[in-house]
A and B are shown apart, each in its own frame.
Chain A
Amino acid sequence: MIKSAVAQQMPAWNFAYSRPGFLTFKAAEPMEAEAALIAQQTPFARSGGWTIDRIVAESAAERAAQFWAMAAELPFSAIHVWQRDHVAPDRSNFEPGNPAAAAEAVAAIAAAAPDSHAPWRDVAAFNRTAGRGQQVLDCILIDENSWCLGRHRADRIESRWPGGVPALERPEPMVSRAYLKMAEALAWSRLPLQAGDRCVEIGSAPGGASQCLLERGLWVMGIDPADMDPAIAAHPNFVHVRKRGADLKRSAYRSIRWLAADMNIVPAATLDIVEAIVTHRQVQIRGLLLTLKLRDWTLVDEIPAQLDRIRSWGYRDVRTRQLGYNRREICVAALKSRAQRRSPVRRKFSGSS
């Protein structure tokens, strides 16, 4: 998908070295570089940057020495070390990155840091969220004996995270993996949700995403025919409606300002349910966080039309991304206007019911 997208948009780029999930392209003219910044905005590219060189050696110490032989001459203020994903996101054991492998590589790189870069002898200096605009060196763990040295500028929020995935703290207990999806979606989308805001989650069971929203002080109405986790069901700011999203009267959504939906149905069906709610004249929902399931890859072709459909409901700021914690699905964040993302309006509704 990415290869074909790049081939269409950037015909001057030549496909080069690749491993599953990791693609490199070469452009003959340095002026093509600007276009690369645009190309990496495809929702399925979790991260991207300029390739400096590959590092191939038997031992981690040798690879670290090669790393510094190149890196020591370069300007940078952050180093991100992360492993390319080896497992497809629809596999049950999928998790983005590999923190253990990254920690091992960080230890080797830190141990080999030259005197000129002594602060990098501290492993805690690595894999921090980069500051906006910082130059980041990427050390991508490709295979057992192979790394790739690259670099990017941390402009967008996701490019500030190592490998494009935020470091999330997992609550104990975590109701479900949906907690991580929601936490990442909130961090990436920067929807201006505030404590006390009213949110509806369609397809809420067992309650991982609701757990995340409740932690942030929101009042949550969870709509799902299935059982919720007892701890979520008993939360004073949570109301469980044991129905399907389409079966609830529209008046129930009148005080709701945010809508999240994660249902195991095709994207068009998800949008049918959401459209019936947000286009009702008594309903004023400011923002959406939708998970669209891509059970069949041909559904990807329908995404542009679906985003247009969401815009037709009055949401002008519509963005999409396959989040690090997404499986075979994408996250869509929609706001009435981009200005809302930058400056949250004063909330009108608060408290629990």
Chain B
Amino acid sequence: MRKRLLAGARGMKFMARFAMLNPVSPVSFYLHSPPGSLVDV
């Protein structure tokens, strides 16, 4: 978990940089899996 939190902290730093490019965008996350019933889009 500690490693994961550290990774999150580094991610924050990264996001702070690209948030400058698009300051109004909230945090957005994507997931990909094969289409079908598992992703009920």
Interface positions of A (Cβ within 8 A of B)? 1-4, 6, 13, 16, 18-30, 32-34, 36-40, 42, 44-53, 70, 73-75, 84-90, 94, 96, 135, 140, 148, 150-151, 153, 155, 163-164, 297, 300, 322, 328
Contact = CB atoms under 8 A, between A and B. Distances in A.
A39 B39 CA distance: 14
Given A33-B8, A34-B4, A94-B34, A1 B14 contact: no
Contacts of A49: 29-30
Given A153-B10, A155-B7, A20 B39 contact: yes
Contact of A88 (B5, B30, B34): B34
| Contact-residue bracket for chain B | 20 to 34
A73 B16 CA distance: 12
Contact of A33 (B3, B27, B36): B27
B37 to A, nearest CB: 5
Contacts of A13: 29
Given A53-B25, A73-B17, A150-B30, 5 more contacts: A22-B30, A37-B11, A49-B30, A50-B11, A74-B17
Secondary structure class of chain B's binding surface, majority of residues: mixed
B34 to A, nearest CB: 4
A151 B14 contact: yes
A174 B9 CA distance: 44
A74 B32 contact: no
Contacts of B22: 52-53
A208 to B, nearest CB: 20
24 contacts: A19-B41, A20-B41, A21-B35, A21-B36, A23-B41, A25-B28, A25-B31, A28-B27, A33-B8, A33-B15, A34-B11, A42-B31, A45-B32, A49-B30, A50-B15, A51-B29, A53-B25, A85-B35, A86-B35, A155-B7, A163-B32, A297-B38, A322-B34, A322-B38
B21 to A, nearest CB: 6
Interface of B: 3-5, 7-8, 10-12, 14-15, 17-19, 21-22, 25-41
B30 A33 contact: no
Contacts of B5: 34
Nearest to A23: B31
Contacts, number: 165
A148 B30 contact: yes
B31 A45 contact: yes
A42 B19 CA distance: 27
Nearest to A153: B7
A53 B26 CA distance: 11
Contact of B28 (A16, A20, A37, A164): A16
B23 to A, nearest CB: 12
B27 A75 contact: no
A1 B34 contact: no
A45 B10 CA distance: 22
Contacts of B25: 53
Given A33-B11, A151-B14, A50 B35 contact: no
A300 B30 CA distance: 22
B30 A34 contact: no
B33 A322 contact: yes
A195 to B, nearest CB: 32
The 5 closest A-B pairs by CB, nearest first: A20-B35, A34-B8, A21-B35, A51-B28, A88-B36
Contacts of A94: 34
Contacts of B27: 26-30, 32-33, 36, 50
